[in-house]
A = this chain, B = another copy of it.
Amino acid sequence: MKIGLIGLGRMGGNIARRLMQAGHEIVAYDRSAEAVQALAKDGAEAANSLDDVRAKLGSPAIWWVMLPAGGPTEDTISAIGEGAKDGDIIIDGGNTFYKDDIRRAKALAEKGVHYVDVGTSGGVWGLERGYCMMIGGDTETVNLLDPIFDALAPGLGTIPRTPGRVAEVVDERAEKGYIHAGPAGAGHFVKMIHNGIEYGLMQAYAEGFDILKSKNSDKLPEDERFDLNMTDIAEVWRRGSVISSWLLDLTAIALAKDEKLEGFSGSVADSGEGQWTIDAAMEEKVPANVLTASLFARYRSRVEHTYGDKVLSAMRFGFGGHVEMPQ
């Protein structure tokens, strides 16, 4: 199929390449002419504007937008939508908030344009490993796009089949690495929860390694200390343990390079998806202590001292005369 790919960053560029490797044609556009040229070298048709892309796409036009969520995606989809014709398809492969998908799909449907949201996991490894995709949209359109998703997905590969899985009951596409989760918004909703879980998994490992590492600390009495090796612990847990995972593999890679992780500041960013996950939990009245604590740990990592901490000290001073000085 022929796809207009808008946004050629790390994710967008690799998606384009994986699609071309599977025989699809790419019309490539990015604000950066350099990025366009780089992809053109790899076989894409270069475009220098959205209009140019449109001119070069057939009918119906298929667009894959791979831009930062929020303003950039919103503006671009809005611009594409204005010039779109009945039957055209716009795919948002970024990290859009699912309620924005629902709104956009409704607006575009009024002029016969189909909107498909694709939550895409796989990071920088996707070009090689394939992308795990969670897709929202109307069934006819999602089915029409199947060759695209099939090309991007990892496929059955070497991951063993789930015992007891019965293809008649459940979606066979899931085994290849993509699902049609539901109507517009459902794809990004599932991806959002995926990222919320990711925060929780990461924080579980982080706390565990923190307790291990602090067991070596000279803040403990000498006879309570061990001299544990983080690098070997991460490695051994990859092998036969209950907590093996891809995130642990990544941790093991980092620790093999530097057990002290001194290259990292300890200030941890968060994308919006952790926050949206908590919003969803609250809308549904579902307790989500772990996912929330994971998000808050990142907020906390980015400030030295909170005003709240000072309020605590002020109370302590009030009732006990404690004064807490800078360490």
Name the distance in Å between A25's Cβ and chain B's nearest Cβ: 24
B254–A315 CB distance below 8 A: yes
A162–B294 CB distance below 8 A: no
A10 cross-chain contacts in B, Cβ below 8 A: 321
B-binding segment of A74-82, A107-115, A207-215:
A207-215
Query: Per-position contact with B for A272-287: 1 when CB-CB < 8 Å, else 0?
Result: 0001011111111111
Name the distance in Å between A8's Cβ and chain B's nearest Cβ: 15
B153–A239 CB distance below 8 A: yes
B-binding segment of A50-58, A65-73, A187-195:
A187-195
Q: In the assembly, what is the distance between CA of A189 and CA of B269, in Å?
A: 27
B-binding segment of A83-91, A118-126, A139-147:
A118-126
Could you say which of A229, A233, A268 has the most chain B C-beta atoms within 10 Å of its C-beta?
A268
* Nearest opposing residue in chain B for A322, CB measure: B269
Q: Is there a chain B Cβ closer than 8 Å to A288's Cβ?
A: yes
A214–B286 CB distance below 8 A: yes
11 A-B pairs within 8 Å (CB atoms) are namely: A153-B239, A154-B239, A181-B226, A189-B228, A194-B243, A203-B290, A209-B308, A214-B285, A264-B313, A289-B289, A298-B312
A284–B211 CB distance below 8 A: yes
A321 cross-chain contacts in B, Cβ below 8 A: 10, 123-124
Q: In the assembly, what is the distance between CA of A161 and CA of B137, in Å?
A: 40
Q: Is there a chain B Cβ closer than 8 Å to A196's Cβ?
A: yes
Q: Which of B207, B253, B291 has a CB less than 8 Å from the CB of A286? A: B207
A304–B266 CB distance below 8 A: yes
A241–B132 CB distance below 8 A: yes
Q: In the assembly, what is the distance between CA of A130 and CA of B282, in Å?
A: 33
A290–B290 CB distance below 8 A: yes
A217 cross-chain contacts in B, Cβ below 8 A: 284
Copies in the complex: 4
Q: Is there a chain B Cβ closer than 8 Å to A62's Cβ?
A: no
The 8 A-B residue pairs with the shortest CB-CB distance, nearest first, are A200-B204, A266-B305, A245-B245, A250-B318, A206-B308, A254-B314, A210-B308, A287-B296
Q: Is there a chain B Cβ closer than 8 Å to A150's Cβ?
A: no
Q: In the assembly, what is the distance between CA of A95 and CA of B57, in Å?
A: 53
What count of chain A residues pass the 8 Å CB interface test? Answer: 154
Q: Is there a chain B Cβ closer than 8 Å to A178's Cβ?
A: yes
A253 cross-chain contacts in B, Cβ below 8 A: 162-164, 318
A33 cross-chain contacts in B, Cβ below 8 A: none
A312–B256 CB distance below 8 A: no
A205–B311 CB distance below 8 A: yes
A242/B311 contact (C-beta < 8 A), A265-B325, A301-B305 known:
no
A240–B287 CB distance below 8 A: no
A197 cross-chain contacts in B, Cβ below 8 A: 204-205, 207-208, 243
Q: Which of B241, B284, B327 has a CB less than 8 Å from the CB of A265? A: B327
A265–B305 CB distance below 8 A: yes
A175/B239 contact (C-beta < 8 A), A280-B211, A308-B207 known:
yes
Q: In the assembly, what is the distance between CA of A213 and CA of B308, in Å?
A: 9
A307 cross-chain contacts in B, Cβ below 8 A: 209-210, 213-214, 261
